[in-house]
Amino acid sequence: MALPPGTTDEAFLREVDEEYRREQATQIFRRYGRWIIGAVVLGLAALGGWLYWQHHQASKAGAQGETYDAAMRAAEQGQADKAIPELDKVAKDGGEGYAAMARIAQGNLLLQKNDAKGAAAKFAEVANNARFEQPYRDLALVRQTVAEYDGLKPQVVIDRLKGLTNPNSPWLGTAGELVAAAYLKAGNRAEAGRLYGQIAQGGEKVPESIRQRAVQLAGVLGVDAIDQSKDIKAQ
């Protein structure tokens, strides 16, 4: 077969290959075209649904955030009776983060109203709910213990919060003070002194006011606990 003028063997083979591929594609589309179009349409529908869901969640979170912020502003203005029902809406309908924060905020407001029992119940709703992230649960557990502290046996406080008193815990200062006080109440001065010493050397993860108290109390209990945080900053 004669090649068209000016056509090389390589160019001719390429044209034949492209024509063959076009013919194959045409046959495939004739056989499976409806299925391909259907799959594309379904894919676009799924993508559209996912994008709508993302937008809906973002809008919902925005609305929940506005309700939460409005409730907290009311609380700051001393309008707890107005804030608590609004926070209840967020707690029931909000995403996990907002729901946890709303319950904790309700508990704090109830504590301000001297309703320790009601506050403890709100904190417990978060502390005992595995669907909430651990930082929320830990905060709620500490707040629950504060609300119930006077009525708890020392060992209950120790067992409840001891896991939050390790040197790497962000709750070392607050939970540590509660546990150390429980040790003292139980007559275990050695463990109380050791824990106060640990708090005193907790560095920046422990507020300075708590470190200062820990240094003093550790010293009273015979533990040399120097607050090293200032020395570290000076180096």
Domain locations along the chain: 60-148, 152-229
Residue given tokens 């209950």 in the structure block: 156
**What type of residue is 88?**
D
Q: What percent of the chain has pLDDT over 70?
A: 68
Distance CA(122)–CA(220), nearest Å, equals 37
The arrangement of secondary structure in 60-148, i.e. its CATH architecture, is: Alpha Horseshoe (1.25)
Give the tens place of pLDDT for each residue, 113-130: 899 999 999 999 999 999
> Residue 143 — pLDDT band, cuts 50, 70, 90?
very high
Q: Are 94 and 63 in contact (CB under 8 A)?
A: no
Cβ neighbours of residue 46 closer than 8 Å, sequence gap 6 or more: none
Give the tens place of pLDDT for each residue, 61-112: 566 677 777 777 877 777 777 888 888 887 887 677 888 888 988 998 898 8
